[in-house]
Amino acid sequence: YELTVSEILKRVDLSRPTLYRLLYTLQEKGFVTASGEPQRFRLGPAVARLSWAWSASLDLAQVAQPVMRAIWNETGETVALFVPQGAMRVCIAEMQSSQPLSFKRGVGYSERIVRGASGRAILAWTDTPPEALARLCEGLDTQPVQLAAELKSIRKRGYAVSHSELIKGAIAVAVPFFDRGEHVAGSIGVFGPDVRLDAARIKAMATALVAHGHELSALLGKGPAR
C-alpha cells in the first residue's frame, strides 16, 4: 500500500515540511521506503521486525499466563514477567496482588537491567565481559567487581533478591527462564512489602519460583536442567 505526500497530508494534522522531515527520518531508520516520481511511501522492513518483536512478546506473555497465575495463587503477591532489551529490561505481563498494601510497576515499565532482582536474575545468566559490566554500572554506587560477585552468587543459588532498591519497603524475588536454545529469555518475579516477607517466606517463595522458572522454560522448549 503506497501513498504520496499529498495523500498522507489528507490523513494527518501536520504541515508539509514537518511531514517531510518525519518521512525522511523514518526512511533513514527503515520504517518507510520511497520510490517513483512523485515519491510514493510504503512501510519498510523495520516495521516487520518491530511487528515480530511485539508479537513475540505477546506470545511469551500468553504462554506464561498459567505459570504466573500459579505463582500469584501461591504467594498472593504481585507477579511480573520481564524480558531483556539491550541494557534495559521491560515488563511484558503483570498480575497485581489483591492485597491493600502491594506494589505495581505496570506493563511497559522499564528499568536498567543492572538494577533490581528482575534485572539481575537475567544478567546473571548472560556472558557479560568485565568491560560491559563496567558500562552497566555507570552512574550507580555499585562497582563492577561487586556486581560480578553478586551475579556469581545469584547464579549459584538460582535466584535474585532485592530489598528497598527501587521502591522503599519493597522486596523482590526473581528467577530466570530460558528459551529452546537454552539462552536466558527473561525473568519472572514476585514483589511485596517487607512487612509480609520475612526471611523464611522469601526463601520459600524463592524455592517455588525456581521450580516455576523451570516450568516456564519447559513451555518455551528448553530441555530439563542438567
pLDDT tens across the length of the chain (226 residues):
789 999 999 988 889 899 989 998 898 888 889 888 888 898 887 776 555 455 455 578 888 999 999 999 999 999 999 999 888 999 999 999 988 888 888 898 899 999 999 999 999 999 888 889 899 888 888 888 989 999 999 999 999 999 988 889 999 999 999 988 889 999 999 999 999 999 999 999 999 999 999 999 998 876 555 4
For the chain, the domains span: 3-43, 56-219
Tell me the C-alpha to C-alpha distance, in Å, between residue 126 and each of 33, 38, 152, 162, 176.
Answer: 36, 49, 11, 19, 11
CA separation for the pair 52, 46 (Å, rounded)? 10
Residue 18 phi/psi, 5-degree rounding, is -65, -45
What CATH number belongs to 56-219? Answer: 3.30.450.40
CA separation for the pair 51, 209 (Å, rounded)? 31
For residue 124, what are the contacts with CB-CB under 8 A and spacing of at least 6?
A: 151, 152, 154, 155, 160, 176
